[in-house]
Structure 1
Amino acid sequence: MQNVFNGLQEFLGTGGNILFYIMILTFFMWTFILERFAYYLFAHKPLKARLKAEWDARTDKTSWRAHAIKDELISQVKERTDTNVGIIKTLVALAPLMGLLGTVTGMIEVFDVMALSGSSNARLMAGGVFKATIPTMAGMMAALSGLYFSTVLPRWSARETARFADDLDVSPETVVY
């Protein structure tokens, strides 16, 4: 465990302070992604069952009020399935920008070395260039790790909302065997 901590600390030191912020951003992004998985695994089916039972308990399913209640039940499912999806998409989009910020800060260090030394010695600039590329790579990797989920989760939300709406439309009286 000590080796992991030392390795992480060394990696964060090579890329500058911005790597710490990229690490925090990635942690929150994956926390929200895992929260969505936990919702679909544990909370989604009970919510659908409860709302479906609420709809099935109604005697009036054809009036304007019944349709408004049905729309409200569908909206509850949509709201719950869409929770945190926008945040995930934002964090995925923000990760490469944070990497670019690290690139800029690393290049500023290169220019500081050039200004202090009065020359463009490649050996003196190498440390700053290295410090500039590490955050870019980390930001891109963070974004790529969440990109799949930022596109899949909205589709899951739309599919589950549509399925629930379809479940409310089917009643035992209208099913033909």
Structure 2
Amino acid sequence: MLYLIELWESVREFIATGGFVLYFVALALFLMWILMIEKYWFLTSVYPKMKRDIIARWDARTDTTSWYAHRIRDAWISEAAEILDARMITIKTLVAMCPLIGLLGTVTGMIAVFEIMAVQGTGNPRLMAAGISMATIPTMAGMVAALSGVFFSSRLDAKVKMAKAKLVDSLPHH
């Protein structure tokens, strides 16, 4: 319990040093990871059953060679592809937004530095240092958040493309 309290205090100090923009970085990071975990869960738990059902429906058809059968096959593949692609754009958008949110923190931190310089002058380096750290920490946090998402989202995208290709290959095109 003491460890959690110390961890929470460290997080609070970090946010106080970096400014309110870090809350937005944390929110984007949280949403991104929730969506990625949900998509991994879908690919490993829900989609295999859905794929088996589609293959079973195709195999149960007596007509698999007519134009109508191929349109039905294409429709099933398209429906599955749409479900597989769901939320992938949102994940990629959140990954791309993290550095931009960090840059927003840079701008607000620099505004704070300029305000201090306007009021106090350039003679107080301690006050300027607080504004500069408020400018650099959100940028770093946004970049780290984006880097954590880039690898996993591209991996997830590859898994989705592979799942679509395997579904197409599983439905013989006579």
SS at match of 1:9: helix
Identical counterparts, % of pairs: 46
Instruction: Pick the aligned partner of 2:163 from 141, 156, 160.
Output: 160
1:97 equivalent in structure 2? 100
Write the distance in 2 (CA, Å) between the matches of 1:123 and 1:11.
Answer: 17
Q: TM-score, normalised by structure 1?
A: 0.92
Instruction: Pick the aligned partner of 1:51 from 51, 54, 77.
Output: 54
Write the distance in 2 (CA, Å) between the matches of 1:48 and 1:77.
Answer: 8
Correspondence 1:6 to 2:9: yes
Per-residue CA shift, 1:45-87, capped at 9, x if unaligned? 1000011111111111111111111001111221122111111
Write the distance in 2 (CA, Å) between the matches of 1:80 and 1:142.
Answer: 26
Instruction: Pick the aligned partner of 1:22 from 20, 25, 29.
Output: 25
Correspondence 1:34 to 2:37: yes
Tell me, yes or no, if the aligned pair for 2:40 and 2:156 is still in contact at 8 Å. no
Change over 3 Å in CA distance of 1:77–1:170 after alignment to 2: same
Structure 1: any 5+ residue segments left out of the alignment? 172-177
SS at match of 1:169: coil
Deviates more, 1:22-31 or 1:111-120: 111-120
Structure 1 residue 170 displacement after superposition: 6.7
1:174 equivalent in structure 2? none
Correspondence 1:145 to 2:168: no
Per-residue CA shift, 1:19-43, capped at 9, x if unaligned? 0110011000000110111011111
Instruction: Pick the aligned partner of 2:67 from 64, 69, 74.
Output: 64
- Aligned residue pairs total 171
Write the distance in 2 (CA, Å) between the matches of 1:95 and 1:119.
Answer: 32
Write the distance in 2 (CA, Å) between the matches of 1:59 and 1:17.
Answer: 63
Deviates more, 1:124-133 or 1:86-95: 124-133
Structure 2: any 5+ residue segments left out of the alignment? none
C-alpha RMSD over aligned residues: 1.4
Q: TM-score, normalised by structure 2?
A: 0.93
Structure 1 residue 119 displacement after superposition: 2.9
Structure 1 residue 153 displacement after superposition: 2.0
